[in-house]
Structures are given as structure tokens and as C-alpha cells.
Chain A
């Protein structure tokens, strides 16, 4: 079965850039999306189709994908961005989620 791998945790200082990676076999040939989940809340879509931002998502969130890796970039990270982030892609009409990355802003 298809798997997506994320680092369990990423730390960033306020105002700096955070990069969260998601790796999977030929992931660049699929569309990746990203969700933000804060404690006790439902996930929120922050990036879809590799690099598109839904309405209402701040411009500091961006995405890219190439080869086997998709990357979520948060520029000028703010304390409010501290959350779990999940990547997701489709394989054979089945949705697959990465294991999630806890972003700590310190």
C-alpha cells in the first residue's frame, strides 16, 4: 500500500521559515494537499493541488512538490501556526495521509 512519510516534529523561531516535508513514491506525479489541525479541532485545508491556497488561508502558507517530496512552507511563522500538519494524496482512488508533523514555534 502507498505510504506518505513526514518528520514527527519541526521547530521554528517566530518570524522564521518552517518547511515540512512529505515523502512518497513518485509523489510528484500526484497532487498533494496539506491540512492544519489544532488541538481539539477538525483539520483545515491549507494547501491543495500541491501549491494552491484556499480562500482565507494566509499568504505565508505555500506548497511545492517535485520528485518524491512535497513541501509545505510557512514564511514568517507566527505563534498561531503551532499545530499538527498532515499531507494527503490519492493513490488508486484511495486517500492516504502522512503520519503528521507537530510544528512547534519557540
Chain B
């Protein structure tokens, strides 16, 4: 069974960079595509991007200029960096994984990140 856990600051100042890490426990780290998905308060789900264990990435075009997702296979972790944040980036950030089914089987519990001075 795969479990995911997000970690990182819950408060980020405007114009700074949001950084989060997701730690994966269980087997099959190299079998999944690992993603970040966010949900603004009271709103729907927004896909941020994914990374494969090889380092291959793809990002949401609307966020691409500000997003970097990286992976550390030795630690079974992947990370999100979102630059130049504003209040609009306040959201619960989820890490999630999908395999050949192309559907997100596994989700972290989510972490609330607030952008405020």
C-alpha cells in the first residue's frame, strides 16, 4: 500500500516561493507518476503538474512559468516550488500518484498553504 505525506511551511509571504515536499512510503515508487494538485478554499481541484521517477515533467500551462517539480528517488520524495506567489495561490496542496490506470489512486492528506504578509 502506498502512502503520501506532504510537508512544508503553512504560511508564505507574497512574492516569495512556496516549497512543499511529498514523501512516499511503500513500494513501486518508480511505477507511478507523481503529481501536485491544489484546491483553493471552497473551490474545485486544480492540477499543477506531474513528474516521473526519471525526472520527466509536465505542467499546467496556466502555472508553467512559475512551477518546478523535482524528484529525489533515493528518498522517495518529490517536491513543488511555486514562485512569485500571491493570495490567489492560497490553497490546500495535495500530492497524488497515478499509474497505468491514468487515474489518481493515491492522495496525501493535503496541506494548507496561506499566502499572506
Q: Which A residues fall within an 8 A CB radius of B?
A: 1, 31, 33, 35, 42-45, 48-49, 52, 54, 86, 88, 90, 93-100
A97-B109 Cα distance, complex, nearest whole Å: 19
A94-B37 Cα distance, complex, nearest whole Å: 12
Inter-chain contact A94/B45, CB cutoff 8 Å? no
Q: List 27 A-B contacts (CB under 8 A).
A: A33-B101, A33-B103, A33-B104, A35-B104, A42-B107, A42-B108, A42-B110, A43-B45, A43-B94, A45-B103, A48-B101, A48-B102, A49-B103, A52-B101, A54-B105, A88-B45, A88-B103, A88-B104, A94-B47, A94-B58, A95-B35, A95-B47, A95-B50, A96-B47, A97-B47, A99-B44, A100-B44
Which residue in A1, A31, A97 is a CB contact (below 8 Å) of B102?
A: A31
A91-B46 Cα distance, complex, nearest whole Å: 14
- Nearest neighbor of B60 in chain A, beta-carbon distance: A94
Q: A42-B108, A42-B109 are in contact. Are A97 and B44 (CB under 8 A)?
A: yes
Residue numbers in A under 8 Å from B104 (CB-CB): 33, 35, 43, 45, 88
CB-based A-B contact count at 8 angstroms: 55
Chain B 84-117: CB-based contact to A (< 8 A → 1; otherwise 0): 0000000000100000011111011110000000
A26-B41 Cα distance, complex, nearest whole Å: 31
Residue numbers in A under 8 Å from B44 (CB-CB): 86, 97-100
Inter-chain contact B94/A42, CB cutoff 8 Å? yes
* B26 at interface, CB cutoff 8 A: no
Residue numbers in B under 8 Å from A48 (CB-CB): 101-103
Q: A43-B104, A43-B107, A45-B105 are in contact. Are A93 and B47 (CB under 8 A)?
A: no
B109 CB to closest chain A CB (Å) equals 6
A86-B96 Cα distance, complex, nearest whole Å: 15
B57 CB to closest chain A CB (Å) equals 10
